[in-house]
Amino acid sequence: RVLFRSTHEFKFSLNRYATQTITATIKEKNQVVKATLPPTFGILKIAPKFTEGVGDPEDLIVNLDGERQKKYDSLIVEDKDKHKVMLSHKCYETTEVTIGFDHGGQEHVIDSALTVMQSILDLNVVNEKGEPIERDVYVNGEKKGQSPFRDYVPTCSKITVGPFREKVDVTLKKKMEEQFTHTYNGKGLYTDKRKNNSKTYNLVAIGDDIWFGENLKYKKSSDNCVGSYYEGYRCYYSYSDALEVCPDKYHMATKEDWNALMKTQGGFDSLSLTFDGVSSRNTDDDYYSYSSFSQEGKGIYEKFWLEDAGYIYLTAGEANMDNLSVDDEKNYKFPVRCV
DSSP string, 119-179: EEEEEEEE-TTS-B---EEEETTEEEEESSEEEEEETT--EEETTTTEEP-----TT-EEE
Angle at 125 between CA 206 and CA 191, to 5 degrees: 45
Nearest Cα to 161, choosing from 141, 190, 191, 131? 141
Nearest Cα to 69, choosing from 51, 49, 91, 45? 45
Task: Tell me how far apart the alpha carbons of residues 224 and 236 are, in angstroms, rounded to a whole number.
Answer: 5
Residue 138 has pLDDT above 70, yes or no: yes
Nearest Cα to 171, choosing from 153, 149, 189, 193? 153
Beta bridge partners, 76, equal 43
Global pTM reads: 0.66
Task: Tell me how far apart the alpha carbons of residues 164 and 157 are, in angstroms, rounded to a whole number.
Answer: 18
What average pLDDT does range 163-183 have in this prediction?
88
What average pLDDT does range 284-295 have in this prediction?
38
| Percent of the chain at pLDDT exceeding 90 | 35
Question: pLDDT for 23-72, tens place per residue?
Answer: 999 888 888 999 999 998 989 999 898 887 788 888 999 999 999 998 88
- Evaluate whether 199 touches 207 at the Cβ level (below 8 Å): no
Task: Tell me how far apart the alpha carbons of residues 125 and 274 are, in angstroms, rounded to a whole number.
Answer: 26
| Whole-number pLDDT of residue 87 | 95
- Evaluate whether 53 touches 31 at the Cβ level (below 8 Å): no
Residue 219 has pLDDT above 90, yes or no: no
Question: pLDDT for 84-93, tens place per residue?
Answer: 999 999 999 9
Minimum mean pLDDT range among 85-89, 96-100, 331-335: 331-335
- Evaluate whether 207 touches 162 at the Cβ level (below 8 Å): no
Minimum mean pLDDT range among 99-103, 160-164, 269-273: 269-273
- Evaluate whether 27 touches 34 at the Cβ level (below 8 Å): no
Residue 265 has pLDDT above 70, yes or no: no
What average pLDDT does range 135-164 have in this prediction?
93
DSSP 255: H
Task: Tell me how far apart the alpha carbons of residues 308 and 252 are, in angstroms, rounded to a whole number.
Answer: 9
Higher pLDDT, 105 or 163: 163
| Whole-number pLDDT of residue 158 | 92
- Evaluate whether 193 touches 201 at the Cβ level (below 8 Å): no
Question: pLDDT for 308-327, tens place per residue?
Answer: 878 776 655 556 676 766 56
What average pLDDT does range 83-107 have in this prediction?
89
First to last CA, the chain: 94
Mean pLDDT of the chain: 80
